[in-house]
Each structure stands twice: as structure tokens, then as C-alpha cells.
Amino acid sequence: MAQPAGLFFKIAAVPFHQWAPDVYEGAPTTITAYLSVASTAASFALLMRLFQTVFWPVKDHWIGLLGVVAVASMTVGNLAAITQTNIKRMLAYSSISHAGYILLGLVAAGTGAQGNETGLKGIAVYLFGYAFMQIGAFAVVIILRKKGLIGDELKDLNGLIQRSPGAAVLLLIVMLSLAGIPPTIGFLGKYYIFLALIQTGHYALALFAAAYVVPALYYYFRVIVHTFLKESTDAEKQLVTVWQTVALTVCGFVVLGFGLYPEPVLRLAQYSLFLPFGTLGK
């Protein structure tokens, strides 16, 4: 299991998560966004492929392990994120929690003689939405940076609705989606993960996953409170370039648009599915 352990490190799943908060905070925000999205998505793609083929004959040995790692990741990620005042560290711990949710989809997908297609679809939808949610969140952090100010503390968000209404609204949409609130694509991804767990009889894991939505609501809504309800000590308008505006618009459209009308992303998820489970050698 050395190779899956290495991939657990890449997706920052517990107990291989220690690097993520420090790297997220210390790296330039553009690099942090890349690590959070591209590295995670690619690692999960490889992890899915391995468990669909190489490790499929011994799936009974790894499903339990994946379940334990998933619950541990949700526990550590959510509880640690509550205490963070640095936005990038908070997003690092929340990404650990999201890795746990996606691993639950893999648990469901590997259950049964032929696996569970809903679990695979849930992983695909979750990863697609996660990419735009994270990019949107880090795009706002980039916008907050200006001369003499790094802009990655929660207090730097104070009064953002007055300084940059567009960025504030985008951040609201992204935070609601990360928390899994409808009608966003984050809710859609969680829905299919929960559905797959119920279909495969993993009721305890589904309850754990549902329970950990509560602490996530707390720390995501902290961001919203600072953005909309806290008074800003900086009266200067936030400068948003044309390309930053385009990035914010695309992220907002995907996160909210596909939550309201999910059919295109569901078809995309269906087309992107790998070989069905149990087809090794066919």
C-alpha cells in the first residue's frame, strides 16, 4: 500500500496532511491555488484509476482503510479550520476535510461486485466543483493583496462588500458552495456522495459526513460575516483588474449556474468516468 499512501500525501489526507497548512500559507497565493486544485485533482484521478484496476481484486482490504482515513480527514480538517484566522490556512484545513468527503465517494464506488457508479459520479462532480470553488476563494485573496498588505487574514476581509462588491458576492457564493448549501455545485457534489453511501449501506459514514457539515458552516460563515457585517478600517476601494473580473465571473457562474442547472455537469461527469469497477482484464 506504499503507492496509495504516497497519493494520500498528495491529497493531504490524514495522517499525511501536516505539510498542507504551512505550504498553503507560505507559498505565493497563485502557487497555493495551483497546489490546491491541480495537484489534488490529478492525485485523485490516479487514485481512482489504481483502485479501479490494480487494487480492485483486493478491494475488501482497502475499503475499510479508506473509510478510516476519510473520517480522520474530515475530523482533523474541520476542527482545525475552526481556529484559523489566516484565510489560506483555513482553506488548507478545509481542503483536508474535502479530501475526506471525496474518499467517501471512493469507498462507495468500490462497494459491491461491480462497484457503485453513483460514487464515481459523485467524485467527478465534487472535483469539478471543488476546482472552481477553490480558485474563486484564492482569487479573492489575490485581489486583497496590495502594497504593504498581504491580505490573507480574516480581518482583511472586513467591509469588502463596500470596497469591492463583486469580489464580496463571489466570495459569498464560493463559501456557501464549500459548505454544501443549495443551490450550488458544492451541494450537488455532497448530494451524490451521500446518495452513494446510502445506496451501498454505509449509513454510519453518511452520518459522520452529514455531522461534519455543522463545523464547516461555522468557519465558512465567519468569512461571510467579516465580508458583509464587519466595518472596514480601510476606505480605499479594492482594485480589480479586467482579468480578475473575468476569473471571478467564471467561477461564480460555474459554482452557482451548475448548481441551479446541473444537467451539463452531470453529463460531463458521466462521460469522464473511467472503466467500470470490476472490468480488470476485460
Q: pLDDT tens per residue, the chain (282 residues)?
A: 555 677 788 888 888 888 888 999 888 888 999 888 988 888 888 888 888 788 788 777 788 888 999 999 999 999 999 999 999 999 999 999 999 999 999 999 888 777 788 988 999 999 999 999 999 999 998 888 765 566 788 888 888 888 888 899 999 999 999 999 999 999 999 999 999 999 999 999 999 999 999 999 999 999 999 999 888 766 667 778 888 889 899 999 999 999 999 999 888 888 777 544 444 333
**Cβ contacts of 17 within 8 Å, gap of 6 or more:** 73, 76, 77, 96
- The torsion angle over the Cα atoms of residues 215, 220, 223 and 225, rounded to 10 degrees, is -70
The answer to whether residue 282 is domain-embedded is no
Q: Residue 151's pLDDT is what? A: 72
Does residue 280 lie in a domain region? no
Q: Does residue 20 belong to any structural domain of this protein?
A: yes
Residue 278 lies in a domain: no
Tally of structural domains, the chain: 1
Supply the pLDDT for residue 67: 92
281 assigned to some structural domain:
no
How high is the pLDDT of residue 277?
Answer: 43
User: Which residue's entry shows cell 505565493?
Assistant: 28
CA distance 100 to 257: 25
Q: Who contacts 218 (Cβ-Cβ below 8 Å, separation ≥6)?
A: 82
Domain annotation covers residue 279: no
pTM: 0.90
pLDDT at 48: 83
Query: In this structure, is residue 250 part of a structural domain?
Result: yes
d(CA 115, CA 118): 9
Q: Which amino acid is at 147?
A: K
Residue whose C-alpha cell reads 463583486 in the numeric block? 166
The percent of the chain in helix, strand and coil, each rounded to the nearest 5, is: 75, 0, 25
Domain of 56, in residue numbers: 2-272
Q: Are 146 and 239 in contact (CB under 8 A)?
A: yes
In a domain, 193, yes or no: yes
Q: Give residues with Cβ within 8 angstroms of 16, minimum separation 6.
A: 5, 8, 9
The reported pLDDT for the residue numbered 1 is: 52
pLDDT of residue 197: 94
